[in-house]
Structure 1
Amino acid sequence: MICTCTYIRQHMPSLLDKNKKGILGVFWKSARIGERLSPFVGLWCVAMAFTVLFIQ
């Protein structure tokens, strides 16, 4: 969800920026996390994919 929201915000920022509060604010917050912590988020996504593909 973090990666998807970050991608959407890069291409259509007005879509997420208008919903900063309420239930839809979760998507805006996810996009902000993805922008600020992108190297760490990327590493966790790779680790999660490795775990799902090879360990489970």
Structure 2
Amino acid sequence: MTAFFNFQSLVVVILLTICTATYAHHYFPGLMDRNRDNYFVGVLWKCARIGERLSPYVAIACVVMAAVGYIG
């Protein structure tokens, strides 16, 4: 079963994408900012913005999902 059919897995994939894009944007800001109109890099650029601006909420969501995965 893919992550798109399971809500918990979908949330984990989205959180991992946000965290990875934020990390990559920290080390390669010019690459992502220059190509933000491109479809794939544009989605990563938007995820990086979410990770930068809402980092406390993303961190809390990561901790909650880790706890749910540990318990469940």
TM-score interval for Structure 1 and Structure 2 normalised by the shorter chain: 0.7 to 0.9
Match of 1:23 in 2: 40
Q: Percent identity?
A: 49
Structure 2: segments with no counterpart, 5+ residues:
1-16
TM-score by length of 1: 0.85
Correspondence 1:1-56 to 2 at 5 A: 1-21=17-37, 22-55=39-72
TM-score by length of 2: 0.68
Question: What is the Cα-based RMSD across aligned positions, in Å?
Answer: 1.1
Shift of 1:17: 1.1
The range that moved more, 1-10 or 28-37, is 1-10
Write the distance in 1 (CA, Å) between the matches of 2:53 and 2:41: 19
Shift of 1:53: 1.9
How many aligned residue pairs are there?
55
Write the distance in 1 (CA, Å) between the matches of 2:26 and 2:41: 17
User: Which residue type is aligned with residue 18 of structure 1?
Assistant: R
Shift of 1:12: 1.4
Structure 1: segments with no counterpart, 5+ residues:
none
